[in-house]
Amino acid sequence: MSNAPYNGYSWQQRSRIIPAHRKLTGRNQPFEAEPCAMCGDPHRPPGEWHSEDYSEPYAFQPPQSYPLCKPCHARLHKRFNALPGEWELFCLHVEAGGYGSEFVQLRTLPERRALGEEIASGHKVELPIIRARSPGPYWWRSLTLDPESLLAPWARPRPLRPRPDVAAFRLAFEEAGLSDRDSAFLRVHANAPRRTATMRMLAQEAMGKDDPKTANLLYGKLAGRLTSLLQWKPDLRNDGSPVWMSLLAEGWYPPDREYEWTMVPSAAEAARSLVVGKSA
């Protein structure tokens, strides 16, 4: 495992998965004797496997974790820095039944470059079938190519720590006696692209003014009330004070932008079903 972040998980968080697997199963690695989940190569080094999801509790089966061969694993991680069309070409190769290891054996680098450029310029490239394989959809087709996904919480399939489920959030929203403004915060946040918003965006859209400080105060208070109702343990700052927003969202500082909050999926799903304009 490389010392790099992936899908919003730090390498430290990622590195805990191997000891966790060992502790849980007593075995050194999952997927023993299973073929590569991408190309189907049966001769996969036993220790080679991949996770899309490093949230706890860790999961050691698809769609969270997959057995992969070395070339597929390396290409998957290198897709962010690959030449235009290169990752797509590799996917087409695998989908034509090629093993990961055969990618560089079957075509020279200039041939692969030329095909990648064709793909990048929008031309349809079809590769001859190497082995019959089951039709898609294939899981690797839903992987993002956005390099921000390496660090951003929106890329995590699950929040780092488990959150209350949709039904629990729905009940808490009912019991909290939400004001129109409370509901607006929740709905605007849930419907933001990638469930992600700054306090400035929330202030503009839920309060109609450019006042991130007040939004932070009011939305934070609402999160605090919901945290008590749900009896959830919030994240703590270094000084031990609670981060009330941590019930509803995971935050991060993107380079060159304001602090962003990504609403957790269960809260967002519950918030999307809030009735518009329903007063407390």
Residues contributing to the site for Zn ion (CB under 5 A)? 36, 38-39, 41, 69, 72, 100
In the complex, least distance from residue 34 CB atom to Zn ion, rounded to whole angstroms: 11
- Closest to Zn ion by CB, 39 vs 199, is 39
Q: Residue 232: which region, alpha, beta or left (left: phi > 0; alpha: psi -120 to 50)?
A: beta
- Closest to Zn ion by CB, 103 vs 261, is 103
Three-state SS at 49: strand
- Closest to Zn ion by CB, 18 vs 74, is 74
In the complex, least distance from residue 106 CB atom to Zn ion, rounded to whole angstroms: 14
Question: In the numeric block, which tokens belong to residue 177?
Answer: 């006696």
* Residue appearing with tokens 């509803």: 248
Round to the nearest angstrom and report the end-to-end CA distance of the chain.
51
Question: In the numeric block, which tokens belong to residue 239?
Answer: 């000084």
* Residue 75 neighbours by CB under 8 Å, 6+ apart: 82, 87, 90, 100, 103
* Residue 273 neighbours by CB under 8 Å, 6+ apart: 170
In the complex, least distance from residue 99 CB atom to Zn ion, rounded to whole angstroms: 6
Cα separation of 7 and 151, whole Å? 6
In the complex, least distance from residue 70 CB atom to Zn ion, rounded to whole angstroms: 8
In the complex, least distance from residue 93 CB atom to Zn ion, rounded to whole angstroms: 10
The DSSP symbol for 98 reads -
- Closest to Zn ion by CB, 38 vs 249, is 38
In the complex, least distance from residue 100 CB atom to Zn ion, rounded to whole angstroms: 4
- Closest to Zn ion by CB, 2 vs 3, is 2
- Closest to Zn ion by CB, 68 vs 206, is 68
Q: What is the dihedral of CA 26, 29, 33, 39, to 10 degrees?
A: 160
- Closest to Zn ion by CB, 32 vs 210, is 32
In the complex, least distance from residue 167 CB atom to Zn ion, rounded to whole angstroms: 39
Q: Give the torsion sign (CA, 260, 264, 267, 268).
A: positive
* Residue 205 neighbours by CB under 8 Å, 6+ apart: 184, 188
